[in-house]
A and B are shown apart, each in its own frame.
Chain A
């Protein structure tokens, strides 16, 4: 018999049936009477000042109810307190192709689309910056006036003496790595429905309700309150089912504010749903990152120092940028034992769609560089790549040189497991020509120890109530975006209370009903909301225990709640019972003897019929059903409710240096992976055959979900490693669709063998840590290292497309580079659509390449 009855068992998600039958509702599936459709006019220019907007022709169109522009909601906002640089709709200038200029609310989509064409905008086109290293040299026409040199933020951290350590190192590797831009491409395009209610007392529009595809309902409520100048209490944000986030819905996306502003002006409910192309412009993905990395090691392979200079191409606004650039530096620590770290990070503004948080926020690209370089060091020092990683392990519990506290640390076991399962020792270096194995490790936070709005308040609070017939309702602010947090919450509540999962109902992510949880990001939900749920359940359980102990005439410590039964501990353990000679089945066995009895001794309590009819008067009981315990507790205490909350402990909140707030976490997950690849030396094509992925998640509360998250992370990492890349030309995205942004299909996806490692964290709920992000970062370098093993070329730029691999192969053999696109219009390689999206299709884009046969002048004034 395992120690747990609910957790640790593969469990179907509590909302699975709604997803497989189509009954579950996502935001775009909702509609309200009188609802209007909102459509947004986007900027066709990457950088331009708005001279004039004339919406009068659009407003006169039959079926148009309202047109809103920047001055309808001029208060700036942004997800970070230091980055309030966005407006619902731009007020002065546009900063990227796709920036939000105006919004039409009309009776249907066709009318709204037509009205967009009737809005006249006059732009003064400004010089635009597309490359971060060029942008940093800008002398004029800054993207934001208060950001000279277009640098959003730069940080310079020195821990230890890196220069000295590098000078003394037995072996030093140095290189520039580039990871190109990728995006979340969650299957559900963003959607928001906003509706005002008329206030009974004032007779005017009062409360606002917003249904939105969001990972952060409480941040959305906060930003809506800021921009609409309404108290938060007047705003209700409801998160319906969300079709994937990966970070793309972890901040306030323009349409969420615009829909509310439009609903206010139109005095009717407004729904806006992005097209897929608009999703690409909304973006907030992983920035293109340039990493100059230098690592030193002693002759035994112990890393002595690492020095990194990181430049991130952040796009037109701040978004999560300041956090991203800090994560990139902070998470150089906490994986290996590194005594000296120097980090220079630059978050740079460019005239492109905004980058933000994406799965593995800030760590992924730097981890690709670091793990690649570690393999180079291993090669120079003639140490096995798995062995060099083992030689650099932390010795937890410890605090790293940059102030990160590490307690549970399953990395050694992760490495051992993947080495064993992949046959590393027997197969590495012995595979046929063109085939190779590569290893890499990674880690991630189980929630940021400091919330983005810094305070000592709890990050999560959960309420539980138990009804008279034993139904348990959990009210949690946790946002299930497909990762399964509702199920996690139900499992923890039912494990603590010893009731079956079917009794537990989860009400989640509705700001009117559920206490605050700051959102589904930084892999914080299981750790933080799980702990809050655990505490709430323990609190309400105290009432049950007190009542049951009285009924059963025993000490509270002797009670065991399990499988909908309350029994006595020593009986369950098989000891000779003290007060009673009769043999009694253990609580676990009780639950298996068919339908549990619903009899109960009820004192002056009105109950549902069945329970009342079966009431019996008995003396002290040996065991009770869950319902009986509930009834007894209501008898004694009146109400059965419990509240629990979680705030990360002070010791886990990091050091005191500038920027120390980002990186610290109450616990870190660990991952090690081996990838097996083959490389076609004639075409440069890389095929991943299998990935062995071991992940230390502390404890797997729901193994089927943990494995799903590991596989999904590895798979997404493989996409970034091989095919996914946002391709830009003059600030215009060349591949704004799922055909051209090449997310791997089932035929291109390798087998991933997930291996769960349980280090049981001392502070996690039942020892659990995160499992949804940490694995992603190891996949890219594992593949890169495997490519090196296969064909002996070190790739410094991701994704490892056939073009890049072939170029590296030919360079190695000192052969001339084959330039497949020589003399060809670079905007129209065959794998991209020719028009670069709807803007170009309508001839509104910036000037095309001179060689482009489809080139045509943009019409004057920007719009026809």
Chain B
């Protein structure tokens, strides 16, 4: 298949890529941009390890064509850290055991980032429901809830209430 030139905006930077129109966003990120943080865990869009934000909405990059994302803002796990430091949720996942093997973690980072962006103080029910888009085989999810709680508290401490 003949390649075409596309522009992808990833983590605030624009990249020009020559790719086949059939190329999946996940493959473009991992192979063409060397952004290997997003993972492939399944063949059928069931695991969520490849989750990225497209215009702020969590999407499975294994089921999107890269070419269809032109003009949209894509955020991958590499874009979550702030000013070269861990974001609160990243720090909390480390401290509270939210990541064990870590393979599903990038996907969870994106899902949680979106959850907290739309709902700064979710109930446990809402957290469970939001996280159900992603599979983890190590943690049984429990320590993730603690991590998310800790991240919310850290954020609230960082931003003094008015």
Contacts and interface: CB of A to CB of B under 8 A. Distances in A.
Contacts of A187: 39, 41, 47, 49, 101, 103-104, 135-138
Interface string B30-52: 10000111111111101101000
Q: In the complex, which of the residues B78, B109, B134, B136 has the most CB atoms of chain A within 10 Å of its own CB atom?
A: B136
Interface string A1-40: 0000000001011011111111111101100000000000
Q: In the complex, which of the residues B86, B91, B99, B101 has the most CB atoms of chain A within 10 Å of its own CB atom?
A: B101
A319 interface: no
Interface in B73-113: 76-78, 80-81, 86, 89-91, 93-97, 99-106, 109
Given A708-B139, A711-B139, A745-B132, A242 B42 contact: no
B123 to A, nearest CB: 13
Chain B: interface residue count, which band? 35 or more
A770 interface: no
A275 B140 contact: no
A228 to B, nearest CB: 28
Nearest to B143: A708
Nearest to A838: B43
A82 interface: no
B44 A738 contact: yes
B142 A18 contact: no
Contacts of A21: 37, 77-78, 80-81, 86, 90
Contacts of A483: 100
Contacts of A711: 139-140, 142-143
Interface string A223-246: 000000000000000000111111
Given A16-B95, A22-B80, A715-B140, 5 more contacts: A17-B94, A188-B39, A483-B100, A708-B139, A712-B140
B132 A746 contact: yes
Contacts of B143: 704, 707-708, 711
Interface in A721-759: 737-739, 743, 745-747, 749, 751-752
Nearest to A14: B94
A276 B43 contact: yes
Q: In the complex, which of the residues A16, A484, A749 has the most CB atoms of chain B within 10 Å of its own CB atom?
A: A16
Given A12-B94, A716-B137, A751-B142, A29 B128 contact: no
B94 A188 contact: no
Contacts of B131: 745-746
Nearest to A751: B142
Interface of B: 30, 35-44, 46-47, 49, 76-78, 80-81, 86, 89-91, 93-97, 99-106, 109, 127-129, 131-132, 134-144
A23 B141 contact: no
Contacts, number: 182
Nearest to B95: A12
B93 A244 contact: no
Summarize A's interface: helix, strand, loop or mixed: loop
Interface in A275-324: 275-277
A438 interface: no
B12 to A, nearest CB: 15
Interface of A: 10, 12-13, 15-26, 28-29, 184-189, 241-246, 273, 275-277, 481-484, 704-705, 707-708, 711-712, 714-716, 737-739, 743, 745-747, 749, 751-752, 833
Task: List 6 tightest A-B contacts by C-beta distance, closest first.
Answer: A22-B37, A482-B101, A19-B102, A243-B103, A715-B140, A16-B94
Contact of A20 (B41, B93, B129): B93
B100 A738 contact: no
16 contacts: A10-B95, A16-B102, A20-B80, A22-B80, A186-B103, A187-B104, A187-B136, A243-B102, A273-B40, A711-B139, A716-B140, A739-B44, A743-B135, A746-B141, A747-B129, A752-B142
A26 B137 CA distance: 16
Nearest to B20: A110
A425 B102 CA distance: 40
A484 B41 contact: no
A26 B97 CA distance: 19
Q: In the complex, which of the residues B38, B86, B94 has the most CB atoms of chain A within 10 Å of its own CB atom?
A: B94
A241 B39 CA distance: 13
